[in-house]
Amino acid sequence: MARIVFDLDGTLIDSAPDIHLAVTRFLEEEGVATLDLPTITSFIGNGLPHLVRLVINATPLRIEHHARHTKRVMEHYDAVNGQLTRLYPGVRETLNVLQGQGHQLGLCTNKPSAPTRAILDEMGLIHFQAVVGGDSLPTRKPDPDPLNAAFAELGEGPEIYVGDSEVDAETARRAHVPFLLFTQGYRKSPVAELPHSATFDSFAELPDLVAQMMADTA
């Protein structure tokens, strides 16, 4: 059986509306014009401190206050996390199927660990034997270390990484791990520009895709 590690934002959950809400509350508090959902969605992928840097660059706010602003956006996010976030269709059923087939499941996200644990609890996603967050290690994706750490915690078996973005494709490439690209997440470039082993549009396709990859590598 395989070790399958998943990305979180834009892969298992559509969390952009809550991240947008947190940033909106923060910008209102600062008396600054708010940014729309597509803009904030395009900022997701490299972790919250990076997202706040992009927000600062898009507003009159100043980079000297990055640490304080990051802390405040995080507080707003912790307060709203789960309100507007939804699982992508079929996620729960597919995780149940893969776990039932004996695969070892893990999570590797650039979202900080505390809100990651909170949203997994909220969504009842209890499938992961390894959870690596954006602040779990000194580096984050696209550095391959967090992904490798998740696989190491899962023990033995072929490795598969499942994600939605440029950052995930690059992480998989650097870790030399087969990458399954979910096409309905927060990717900014065309599918063809992201290195991948296969793509899928719906979670119902994933168990067959995994079985096929295992047969190909056997």
Ligand X SMILES: O=C(O)COP(=O)(O)O
Amino acid residing at 155: G
Judged by CB under 5 A, the residue of 6, 7, 115, 213 near Mg ion is 7
Q: Taking the complex as a whole, how short is the minimal distance between the CB of residue 215 and ligand X, in angstroms? A: 29
Amino acid residing at 32: V
CB 165 within 8 A of CB 146: no
- Indicate if the alpha-carbon torsion angle 91, 118, 140, 43 is positive or negative: positive
Question: Token digits for 68?
Answer: 């304080």
Q: Report the alpha-carbon distance of residue 160 to residue 6 in Å, rounded.
A: 9
Residue 111 binding partner per list Mg ion, ligand X, none, with a CB distance cut-off of 5 to 8 Å that depends on partner kind:
ligand X
Which lies closer to ligand X via its Cβ, residue 24 or residue 214? 24
Q: Which of residues 126-165 bind Mg ion (CB under 5 A)?
A: 164-165
Which lies closer to ligand X via its Cβ, residue 104 or residue 109? 109
Per rule CB under 6 A, is residue 166 in the interface with ligand X? Answer: no
Q: Which of 7, 14, 18, 168 is catalytic?
A: 7
Judged by CB under 6 A, the residue of 25, 69, 76, 111 near ligand X is 111
Q: Is 90 exposed, middle or buried (0-12, 13-18, 19+ CB in 10 A)?
A: middle
Per rule CB under 6 A, is residue 8 in the interface with ligand X? Answer: yes
Per rule CB under 5 A, is residue 171 in the interface with Mg ion? Answer: no
Angle between helices 66-80 and 16-30 (to 10 degrees): 130
Residue 156 CB: number of other CB atoms within 10 A?
8
For 163-197, give one letter per residue: b (16+ CB within 10 A) or e: bbbbbbbbbbeebebbbbbbeebbbeeeeeebebe
Q: Taking the complex as a whole, how short is the minimal distance between the CB of residue 128 and ligand X, in angstroms? A: 13
Amino acid residing at 212: Q
Q: By rule CB under 6 A, what string of x and - marks binding of each residue 68-107 to ligand X?
A: ----------------------------------------
7 is in an annotated binding site: yes
3-state secondary structure of 131: strand
Judged by CB under 6 A, the residue of 27, 45, 76, 119 near ligand X is 45
State the residues that interact with Mg ion by CB under 5 A. 7, 9-10, 164-165
Would you please indicate which residues are annotated as catalytic (active-site) residues? Answer: 7
Q: Which positions make up the binding site?
A: 7, 9, 164
Q: Which residues are annotated as a binding site for Mg(2+)?
A: 7, 9, 164
